[in-house]
Amino acid sequence: MSTSETVRGPARVAIIGGTGYGGAELIRLLHRHPAVALTRVTSIDHVGEPLEAVHRNLGRTGLRFEDTAPADAMRDVDVVFLALPHKVTASLGPQLAATTAKIIDLSGDFRLRDAAAYRSFYGQVHPHPEMLGSFVYGLPELHREAIAASTRVASPGCFATSIALGVLPMVRAGWLRGPIRTVAATGSSGSGAYASEGTHHPVRVNNLKTYKVLDHQHTPEIEQTLRDAAARWPAEGSAPVQLLFVPVSAPLSRGILANSFLDVPASVDADAVAAAFAAMYERAPLVRVLGGGKVQAEVVAVKGSMWADVSWTLGPVDARTGTRHLVVTSALDNLVKGGAGQAVQSMNVMLGLPDGTGIDAVPLWP
């Protein structure tokens, strides 16, 4: 069977690492997915317990957490989702190379192609650098054909998805006239299921703070994605891709709101910006382009959903620089379009299904 051929009958799916927030979202989406059969969920915690005993939002699933070695968990299934922490998935290189199942990894361990960047931003030497670059980057809005033909997908990070979706139209148009400056606020679920000093609710609920300023691990991932786009759509006069990124810890559980500041040519007007977004996302069913009016992207409008909303504000020509200032705002749910849902979207593409199959529920409100 070719990698892009639709699987006949329900695809058998396993999740390795099912007790965290990413695993919980995968279970929620896959358990009711009309084209798959969730057959196995592994964990080193809560072994033998029903899935719904840990994730109490679920109905009866008929499944229990298994303490199954990864190589065994990958047998007799069509698709494997890896919902393991960063640096853990990297150690599974030989098992991943040996399995015939399609692999979708939610960690950051196979997103980068540069081993030096991985070491710098993840704090360790990659144990299998020969495998870097062997996974397709799972952003369907940019790499749909490659995902469809692949058996190995590295699903993007939440910040990376929100920032890239906002900026890609400008890169495609060749309008960058300097670095991209982004301030993005995120909810506490992005820090994982286990509390730390920075995510402890009594502090977080009353607080806003920056962290990993200019040093967040999604920075090289975003730059790599945007450089790939720039190489795909080269344009004379566009500045090299450089991201200056300030993440903000926000007092909410879900969601990311990213504001990216760009300098663009003075000749760019509102109609041109609208046309750039339309060209980029005309075949992207899960990106909602809100435009440059009063309705701007916001977290509450995408909560619990696969939608990514993008909007923009275009300023006047700056006489000092001869450019216009453009602010692009993007919003998504970090656990869905920024996490597990996007991984399922890539699975849908790999299996020849419509993007939104099983994941097209409307957002929660409010």
Residues marked active site are found at 158
Other beta carbons within 10 angstroms of residue 271's beta carbon come to 9
CA distance 168 to 222: 10
Q: Residue 330 in contact with residue 309, Cβ under 8 Å? A: yes
Tokens of 225: 């994605």
Which ranges of 123-181 does DSSP label H, i.e. alpha helix?
Answer: 140-148, 158-173
CA distance 294 to 173: 24
Question: Looking at this protein, which amino acid is placed at residue 61?
Answer: T
CA distance 26 to 104: 11
H-helix or E-strand spanning residue 232: helix 218-232
CA distance 192 to 198: 11
Q: What is the DSSP string of 42-75?
A: E-SSSTTSBHHHHSTTS---S-BEE---HHHHTT
Biggest CA pair distance of the chain: 67
